[in-house]
Amino acid sequence: MTDSINDLSWAEFERVDLRVGTVVAAEIFKQAIKPAIKLSIDFGADIGIKKSSAQITDHYDPEALIGKQIAAVVNFPKKQIGPIMSECLVTGFVQDDGSIILAVPDKKAANGSRLA
């Protein structure tokens, strides 16, 4: 692999605070321009519960997300999305059809655990 202007330094990567959390509430985000689900995610005692909007309606129903652990970036600036303030960025993998598959741990992890 050759060096590229787009390569991240290790220090830059370490600044991304990617944590695991458990979805405690989920509902269809009716006011969103693109189909989305409003999520409340518990990241443990140190971080607490954060809200997010995720465009994951192709593969997920709100009811099925309750109790599911997901990975999210918790140190981006808050972003107003319609009537809600998104406080974290839920991560997933974009499929060929544009749909998103959530990035999740394969075993239960403590809420707030940081990606290593």
pLDDT of residue 54: 96
Q: SS3 for 41?
A: strand
Residue 56 sits at the vertex; the CA angle it makes with 32 and 21, to the nearest 5 degrees, is 105
Q: SS3 for 10?
A: helix
Query: What is the mean pLDDT of the segment spanning 87-107?
Result: 97
Q: Are strands 84-86 and 89-90 parallel, antiparallel or unpaired?
A: unpaired
Rounded Cα–Cα distance for residues 24 and 51 (Å)? 10
Rounded Cα–Cα distance for residues 99 and 113 (Å)? 26
Domain ranges of the chain: 16-102
Query: What is the mean pLDDT of the segment spanning 64-69?
Result: 98
Region 16-102: CATH code = 2.40.50.140
pLDDT of residue 79: 94
DSSP letter (8 states) at residue 98: S
**pTM for this structure?**
0.91
Q: Summarize pLDDT for 11-58 with one digit per residue, the tens.
A: 998 999 999 999 999 999 999 889 999 999 999 999 999 999 999 999
116: confidence class by pLDDT, cuts 50, 70, 90: confident
